[in-house]
Amino acid sequence: MTAADPGSFRDPASRVLIDADRVIRVLDQRGLNAWKALADSRFFANAVADGHLIAATDLADPPEGGAGALEHPRVPLITYPYEWTFSMLKDAALLQLDLLAKALDDGLTIKDATPFNIQFVEGRPLFIDIGSFEPYRDGEPWIGYRQFTRQFLFPLMMRAWLDVPFQPWLRGDMEGPTASHMRSLLPRSKRSKPSVLGHVGLQARMEERLAGESVRDDLQQAGFNAAIILTNVEKLQGLISSLTWEPRTDGWAAYESCTHVGRDRETKAGFLRHAMSRQRPERVLDLGANDAYFSEIASDGGAYAIAVDSDEPILERVYKQSVGKSLSIVLSELGNPSPAQGWSGVERPSLFARADANLVIAYGLIHHLIYTASIPPALVVEWLRRFDCPVVVEFVAPDDEMVKTLTSNKHEDELHPGRDEGAFRNLLAASFNIVSERNLGSGSRVLFELVPV
């Protein structure tokens, strides 16, 4: 059944349909003309060959009354900028600028500048919106400049210079912070840097002063040209490249030093490999993936792995080592995963509407949900059941050393009942069959391989 992509409706020239595993882009006459110009360019062939731009093939019979249609390869997992780490957004920003510069050199431009047009495939950013390209018209400014600053530049500045995570802001306001917001946030020492003065202070002031004024014709009359855009793009490339973020705490190192991690890791890996040999999943969702060690085992076993964790420093390391791997990285707090949002509440589907899987890994996770996020054990099991696929889960008993740490400032009557192994088995029995189980060396942890009842 063909369905409209709920996030593809803003551009009247181009919209995306999903037909089972096929991704089809329907073009109106303007979109078709733009596609022909792009397809005939050296830029397009080079960008696709370099793995920077998604491939596209013409379809003979455009559906739904389109003037033309294209088919794209399917991206393994759609993720959103509020699920990316700092380096992912930075790499996406540099790709956006690089493609714009190369397109302009070939007489084309990109009419918007949003990270929602970029996805990560095998650890590299890939521009997926062919409909964003169109021939450059003499005198036209870069229409996407303001959007670029709000959705790429300012979020990166927030993390690099203020050590404030940009993801909650982008999740709350997908348009991103305005220049006026950034003027309020940044200290004067940063705002007055020559490379920043224009993008933040001056933009905020000019946006206030010229709100609602028509200026495109004035710029055209004054002789605006592509060389001016290229100069701005080159400066932005330098500014973005200079932005770095060094996490204050290295979650990776802290995690690896935990006693239970080293002690149990290979046992858990072996248990997962056995489960994979039985379940033969095509896609594995690793919840609370941490350093993605088990995601990589799933990936090495032939599955596509989706590693979800809330620890940005760790996922930064995972991202930088993910090139060429069948692995997607998602930064999300599992106690509050990305919701469905945007226009009509469906434009950007929730994380778990996108991250479907044939096997779920929940190692070292549920005790954090139960003891830290205060989710009742019954709701945790119900949640695992809703994935409607086999689950490999690690049960952690109340007397486990990590649980003692998590509950060090909580009284017994402040915790949900039913946290011991017997109660957990009763909960499992209502929703799953236990295919296999294994006690870990600590005596306080048990691995279960579950299939839905």
Partner 1 sequence: MIFGYLDPGSGSLILQALLGGIAGIGVAYKAWKHKRMTKRLVKDGADPDASVDDSPVTAES
* Binding residue count for partner 1, defined by CB under 8 A: 46
The answer to whether residue 206 forms part of the interface with partner 1 (CB under 8 A) is yes
Minimum gap (Å) between residue 129 Cβ and partner 1: 12
Minimum gap (Å) between residue 379 Cβ and partner 1: 42
Stretch binding partner 1 (CB under 8 A), from 121-129, 216-224, 242-250, 410-418? 216-224
Minimum gap (Å) between residue 60 Cβ and partner 1: 27
Q: 179 or 440: whose CB is closer to partner 1?
A: 179
The answer to whether residue 194 forms part of the interface with partner 1 (CB under 8 A) is no
Among 102, 199, 268, 419, binds partner 1 (CB under 8 A): 199
Within positions 141 to 160, which residues make up the interface with partner 1, using CB under 8 A?
Answer: 141-147, 149
Calculate helix-pair angle for 293-300, 259-279, nearest 10 degrees. Answer: 30
The answer to whether residue 229 forms part of the interface with partner 1 (CB under 8 A) is yes
Q: 104 or 389: whose CB is closer to partner 1?
A: 104
Helix (H) or strand (E) holding 202: none
Q: 182 or 450: whose CB is closer to partner 1?
A: 182
The residue type of 287 is L
Within positions 340 to 399, which residues make up the interface with partner 1, using CB under 8 A?
Answer: none
Residue among 55, 69, 73, 60 at smallest CA distance from 14: 69
Minimum gap (Å) between residue 221 Cβ and partner 1: 4
Among 112, 122, 333, 382, binds partner 1 (CB under 8 A): 112
The answer to whether residue 37 forms part of the interface with partner 1 (CB under 8 A) is no
Minimum gap (Å) between residue 115 Cβ and partner 1: 14
Residue with tokens 């404030």: 164
Q: Which residues bind partner 1 (CB under 8 A)?
A: 10-12, 30, 111-112, 139, 141-147, 149, 179, 198-199, 202-203, 205-219, 221-225, 227-229, 231-232, 235
